[in-house]
Structures are given as C-alpha cells and as structure tokens.
Amino acid sequence: MKTDIKLSGVGGQGILSIATVIGEAATAAGLRLKQAEVHGMSQRGGDVQSDLRLSTDAIHSDLIPLGEADLILSMEPMEALRYLPYLSPSGAVVTASKPFVNIPDYPDETALLEELDALPKVMRMDIDAVARGLQAPRSANMVLLGMAAHHLGILGPDALRQAIRTVFGRKGAKVVEDNLKAFDAGYEGIQ
Amino acid sequence: MTGKRLLLGDEALALGALHAGLSGVYAYPGTPSTEITEFIQGDPLAKERGVRSRWCTNEKTAMEAALGMSYAGKRALVCMKHVGMNVCADAFVNAGITGVNGGIVVVAADDPSMHSSQNEQDSRFYGKFALVPILEPADQQECYDMMAHAFRLSEEVRLPVLVRIVTRLAHSRAAVAVGEAGPQNPLAPDGERGRWVLLPGNARRQYDALVAMQPDLRQRSLASPYNRFEDAGAPLGVIACGIAYNYVREALPDGISVLKVSQYPLPEDRVRELARACGRILVVEDGQPFAEEQVKGLLGPDYPVSGRLDGTLPRTGELNPDNVAKALGRPEGAVHAPAHNLAPRPPQLCQGCGHRDVYTALNQVLADYPEARVFGDIGCYTLGALPPYRAIDSCVDMGASITMAKGAADAGIHPAIAVIGDSTFTHSGMTSLLDAVNDNAAITVILSDNLTTAMTGGQDSAGTHKFEAICLALGVERAHLHVVIPLPKNMEEITRIIREEIEYKGVSVIIPQRECMQTLARKQRQKLANKA
C-alpha cells in the first residue's frame, strides 16, 4: 500500500512544515518514506513543490512519476493546477482556495476555480480565513492538513494529531494547541 | 546513537563522515551541497570532538586546508556544488599528484536541470581527469554507508576520493540506519617530502605512480559492494549509475539485467559481462554521458549502446522516473493534461530587501545613461535580471562582475558598472578589484552587502564588517569609497553618489549595507522564542 503526495505552494507558505508533520506520522507508524524538495533560489516568492511518498513497501524513486500522485496538497489554487499531470485517475486535489497574487499575469480567478472544480475529486477552502477565525493565523497550513486527512488512507487523523504534538512540542503548548485546533477545523470542515 | 534517522542525502553524508572519524569539514555554501556542512555545524558529536566546521572563503581555500589536515594525518571532508569544482580544480587535481596522508573525501553536488545553477557540468569528469576514485551513491542509505568506505579507500590508495551526488539525492529525505561513531585519526604528519614538493622531478615520479595505480583502482571497482550485477537473463542490459538505479527500478522492478554502478573507474570487466549476457545496452546516468562514452569505446561500434547520446534519453536535464520509463519502453503515465489557467511564478527578491533599493537607485540613474552596462554576479541579486528591474546585463561566474566590467571599460564601454554581493566578493571578487585598481579602470563597483550569504540560506559571510578595510587595502581611494544604507528614504543620497562616481574615471566602490530580511526575521523569531 502506498500514498504519493505532491505538495505545492509559494515560497514561505509553509509546505515544508506539512511535509514534516506527515513525515513524523509516517515514521511513527513504521512506514517507508521518501521526501524530495528543492531548496535555494526557489524559496523567494516563487513556486515551491515537494514530493512525499509513503509506502508499506520499498520506495525506489525519490520523485513521483506522472499520473501516480494520490493527492495534490496545495497552499494555493494555481499551484495545485501546476501539477495536474502528476495526478492519478482516482487522485484528489486538496487546496487553499484563495489565490496568492504576486505576479502580474495571474490567471482570471473565476476561470481558475472553475477549472479546479471540474476535476473529479476536489476540496478547497479559504484556509487563511479559517485560521484567522480561530485566532491562529499562522496555522493555515494545518487547516489544509486537516482537510487532507480524509485522503491520507495510509495515515489516520489521530496519527497526524500526534505528529503535530511531536513536531511543534518544542515551540510550546500554545503553538501545539493552535495547530491542533486548525487541523480539526480543516478535518471537520469538509465532513 | 544507532537506529534509524530521517535524513536528507546531504545530512546522511555528513553523519557518515562524522561516524567515519572526521576531524574537519571545509566548504563554501552552494546549493545543493550546503546542508552537509550545516549538519556538521549543528551536530553534538562534532561539537564534542571539536570537528572544525566554519565556512571557508571559497572552494579552493577549502580544498587546500583539507589537504593540510590530511598532511597532518587526519580525515578531512570538502563539500561544494558542482561549479565549485572549477574553483578548487587546481588544488583538487594536484592533490591527486601529491596523494593524501589522512583520508580526503571531496563531495561535489551536481545540479542537473540547473535548479539553482548556471550549468549542469558533471563532476565525474573531474574525478577521471585527476585519476582518482569516484563514488556515486544511489540513495540516502548509501550516502551514509559510503563515507566510511570512502575514507578507508582514500587512505588505502592514498588518494583523494570524489563523491558525486545530484540535487534529487542531496535534497531528498529517507530513513537511514546509522551505526556507531568510529575513532578519529591521531596527529601523524607525513614525513615523505618528495610526495608533497611538486617540483618537476618529484611530480613526474608521482604522476607515473598515479598512472601505474589505475589497474588497482579498476580492480577495486570490480570488487566494490556498491557495483552490483543483477542478471535476469534478459535481452536488454541496463547500466544504471548512482541515483539512476532508483528510476530504473521504479519503472521495471524486474525483467531486465542491471549493472548498478556506484564506484569508478568504470568496472570494465563487469560491463563486458553484461554485454555478453544481453543483446543491447542502455546507459542511464544523471548529468552528462560520462559512462556512456566509455561503454561505447569499450564495446566498439558494432555493439548497440543507447542512452543520452542517441536521444533514447534526453541529452540535457535531469533524469526522472518518466523519461527513464519511456527509455525502457513503458507508456506515458500522465492522465490529466496540463492545466490552462497557469502562469509561471519565478522567484523574486524578498519584500523589503536592500538589493531592491539598490536596483531602484541604479535604474533611476542609468535612465540618463543609455550606453551604460551593468555586469552582475552570483547571488540573490541575480534576480535583478528579471522584471520589474531588468537591471543587469550579465551573470557568468563567481566574481566575474568586476572583471567583466573592467574588460568592458578597457574596450570603451562607459559607464561600466559591477554589482556583486558581499560573500561573492570575498569568494572571488577581491583579485578582480586589484586588477581594476592596478589598471585604474573606469568602473563603478556596487558591493551590495547584506551581511550574509543569503541565497543559500544565510550562512556567515567571510568579509562581514571588513569590506571598507579590504577595498582600501586593495588600493581603492578613500574619496571614492562610500558606504550607504539602501532604504527608500536615502534614495536621493544614493543616486547622487552613483552619478558622481560614474563621472569619476577610475575605480569607485559603493557599499550599500543593510542586513538580509531573512536573517533579520530569523534572529527576531529566535529572540521571541528565547523570551517565551
């Protein structure tokens, strides 16, 4: 059994924290894991992406082949669309719905969301608004992870909650609390 | 601490080196190699053992210091990105002639597809050029395991060993089984002067010995546990080098005969064995067709060999599971076509970054000088080439801004302006500035100082707080050396100084100095965390 996840967003949005939490949960569950990311120039407001592969069996490639991602998990709607050729026929897209516009030629928002909604399995939410509503504006990425928990067949929500406690533990109880709250809001918001 | 640890390829190399009894790491930051040295800098065992790990000024000083540590009998690691090999080539190639005393492992992190580089040169050519063994790990576990093997090999054959990785291994994480730390070498300087004094008489003898050693190195490749022949009795034989092995096995877990190559010189007898067992060979390697050319030479023109040279695999760009699957005859995997509502999102200078104010000022002044040319350099500020600034006309290699501006000025271009960052200046710009001063070249150098090596994530910069002193010592006149603070409120002062210095027909240096937004934010977060 395997789960291949394409994580995407814009530099600085916190996709690597999502990868760290999923990675921690996977390790604790005894799963195999490979996670490829690109550092360097790409972090400065450009598109960023990470391949996260979880499996009960050996994983060969660090990169996910075209058409094999079970999930595209994105902090930004256009960045979700960027990796569409990687999505498997039964794969899901879980994304923030609010565009992050830092380029002059950003596509028309209505057309973009229509294209997104036409895909077979899509969940999107204004995760920034949800996080602000919880008074935890820096935890938007955990709202997204909560939404994704419905599609991480290989890892249940409790495993992810425990990983949040482990990963953010050293930052103090308040940070853990905020992130758990955000996770639950994302998880329940799409039930 | 034994057990399993989740490590980047870079981190696995670092821990492997520490456990192999490392005494010093010498490196200049460069994507995708930076995390090797950073890991050692933060590791408790390295602290406890006093492993030397501060950043070096450039890759050449790093390689030479490692050679000194090796001379003294201890194990040293040198790390760099692929283009760093060009900078340290003089020391690296001649370390093959002197040989080593304590083991030296040189890690070159190649960047096929140029994720953050200006070319995709393949460092394995440097290893062959210097006639030294090369190791090419396929995964994170091999990164860890191979370091002990590499240091042992280096001391057995008394040569530096090159370890070549690529971006996708350097920056990919997996669980790695780690062992115990072995002892460090004691101080034991080499007494054999004839090896180390490369006067022609000695050098000829050393070079003959190096050439005579090649059959032994080939024998070691044949016996290496990292070169493995997986014979499936299939008509197609695949030679899979380093990380390529993973892509081959992703596409076809069985049903093909595979020669996995992770140690060079190429194990020629094993290649012949594969050729005999199969009817044709596909060479899969990341980077340039290094093994492919050798295999073709070895098997002759009548044996069918495919790879990057005949277009079975793309000639440029990195390997991935898709182009390797295609080369192995698997159907295209994508089911969804690319989206319509897409636009490229290139990286940008951070909001509030001082380089932004530098380019705003420069563009404002140069609007009045249509003949002006701006020679850029390597760093975050290279992004000044993109909109909205479009402010630089060149970016070639570390330090080239000043020397290219000088050459252009020699040819008659005016204004000729160089833009270079603080870390790049100490890496390779100081000698350029001395040339310009000695020729009294009419150039204006903008030394944009953000007090860090920003592009690679904020490592210490070798010249911080020393730039005025360095420029003065190199002969820049006090009257033509200015320090300014790049902020919108100072725009009038900055543009006035740039204008005045453009009109001066000699070397001027303007130092806009303001801390990088990323390192500043990090320090503030740290402060908050310490309070909490």
Express each pLDDT in B480-514 by its tens digit. 999 999 999 999 999 999 999 999 999 999 999 99
B window 349-378, beta carbon within 8 A of A: 349-350
Specify whether B82 is located in the same domain as B20. yes
The pLDDT tens digits of the residues spanning B46-72 come to 999 999 999 999 999 999 999 999 999
Specify whether B131 is located in the same domain as B273. no
- Asked if A108 reaches chain B (Cβ–Cβ under 8 Å), the answer is yes
Which chain A residues are within 8 Å of B456, Cβ to Cβ?
Answer: 40
Specify whether B156 is located in the same domain as B53. yes
The pLDDT tens digits of the residues spanning A43-75 come to 678 899 999 999 999 999 999 999 999 999 999
**Residue B231: CB atoms within 10 Å:** 13
CB B478 within 8 A of CB B468: no
Which chain A residues are within 8 Å of B328, Cβ to Cβ?
Answer: none
Average pLDDT (B262-288) is: 97
**pLDDT at B37 > cutoff 60:** yes
Closest CA to B379 of B444, B490, B459: B459
Query: Looking at this protein, which amino acid is placed at residue B171?
Result: H
Q: Going by DSSP bridges, is the β-strand pair B134-135/B161-166 parallel, antiparallel, or unpaired?
A: parallel
The count of structural domains within chain B is 3
Predicted pLDDT at A7: 96
Best residue in A41, A103, A122 for a mutation probing chain B (most B CBs within 10 Å): A41
- Asked if A10 reaches chain B (Cβ–Cβ under 8 Å), the answer is yes
Hey, which CATH number is domain A2-126+152-172, 3.40.920.10, 1.10.490.20, 3.40.50.620, 3.40.50.170?
A: 3.40.920.10
Contact A85 B350 (CB under 8 A): no
Q: How far is CA B349 from CA B239, B379, B398, in A?
A: 42, 11, 19
Share of chain B above pLDDT 70, in %: 100
The alpha carbon of B250 is separated from its chain's Cα centroid by a whole number of angstroms, namely: 28
Contact B347 A42 (CB under 8 A): yes
Specify whether B318 is located in the same domain as B422. no
ipTM score of the complex? 0.94
Residues, chain B, total? 532
C-alpha span between B100 and A34 (Å, rounded) = 36
Distance from CA of B253 to the nearest CA of A (A): 9
Please tell me whether residue B313 adopts helix, strand or coil conformation: coil
Predicted model pTM: 0.96
C-alpha span between B234 and B236 (Å, rounded) = 6
Closest CA to A26 of B15, B175, B169: B175
- Asked if A61 reaches chain B (Cβ–Cβ under 8 Å), the answer is yes
C-alpha span between A118 and B134 (Å, rounded) = 51
CB B55 within 8 A of CB B78: no
Domain membership of residue B527 (yes or no) is: no
CB B138 within 8 A of CB B242: yes
Distance from CA of A89 to the nearest CA of B (A): 7
CB A131 within 8 A of CB A30: no
CB B22 within 8 A of CB B150: no
C-alpha span between B480 and B459 (Å, rounded) = 29
The pLDDT tens digits of the residues spanning B412-468 come to 999 999 999 999 999 999 999 999 999 999 999 999 999 999 999 899 999 999 999
Distance from CA of B133 to the nearest CA of A (A): 26
Specify whether B56 is located in the same domain as B204. yes
Closest CA to B134 of B64, B237, B20, B224: B224
CATH of residue B305's domain is 3.40.50.920
- The last residue of a domain, from among B292, B327, B362: B327
Contact B171 A47 (CB under 8 A): no
CB B126 within 8 A of CB B108: yes
The pLDDT tens digits of the residues spanning B152-202 come to 999 999 999 999 999 999 999 999 999 999 999 999 999 899 999 999 999
**Cα Rg of chain B (Å, integer):** 25
Specify whether B507 is located in the same domain as B376. yes
Q: Which 3-state string (H, E, C) describes B455-487?
A: CCCCECCCCCCCHHHHHHHCCCCHHHEEEECCC
Specify whether B232 is located in the same domain as B206. no
- Asked if B495 reaches chain A (Cβ–Cβ under 8 Å), the answer is no
Residues, chain A, total? 191
What confidence tier does B334 reach under pLDDT thresholds 50, 70, 90?
confident
C-alpha span between B144 and B361 (Å, rounded) = 49
**Residue B527: CB atoms within 10 Å:** 10
Specify whether B150 is located in the same domain as B28. yes
Query: Looking at this protein, which amino acid is placed at residue B170?
Result: A
- Asked if A82 reaches chain B (Cβ–Cβ under 8 Å), the answer is yes
CATH of residue B443's domain is 3.40.50.970
Which string of b and e fits B164-191 if b means at least 16 CB within 10 Å? bbbbbbbbbbbbbebeebeebbeeeebe
Sort residue B513 into left (φ over 0), alpha (ψ -120 to 50) or beta: beta
Specify whether B422 is located in the same domain as B460. yes
- Asked if B528 reaches chain A (Cβ–Cβ under 8 Å), the answer is no
Q: Establish, for the pair of chains A and B, how many residue pairs have beta carbons separated by less than 8 Å.
A: 153
Specify whether B52 is located in the same domain as B139. yes
Distance from CA of A68 to the nearest CA of B (A): 8
The partner residue sitting opposite B340, judged by closest CB among A102, A103, A115, is: A115
Specify whether B234 is located in the same domain as B187. no
Distance from CA of A43 to the nearest CA of B (A): 7
Which string of b and e fits B312-349 if b means at least 16 CB within 10 Å? bbeeeebbbbbbbbbbbeeeebbbbeebebeeebebbb
Query: Which helix (H) or strand (E) is A48 found in, with range?
Result: strand A47-55
> Would you list the domain boundaries of chain A?
2-126+152-172
Contact A59 B174 (CB under 8 A): yes
Specify whether B140 is located in the same domain as B273. no
Contact B348 A43 (CB under 8 A): no
Rounded to the nearest 5 percent, the helix, strand and coil shares of chain B are 45, 15, 40
Domain region containing B446:
354-519
- Asked if A86 reaches chain B (Cβ–Cβ under 8 Å), the answer is yes
Contact B31 A40 (CB under 8 A): yes
Which string of b and e fits A153-167 if b means at least 16 CB within 10 Å? ebbebebbbbbbeeb
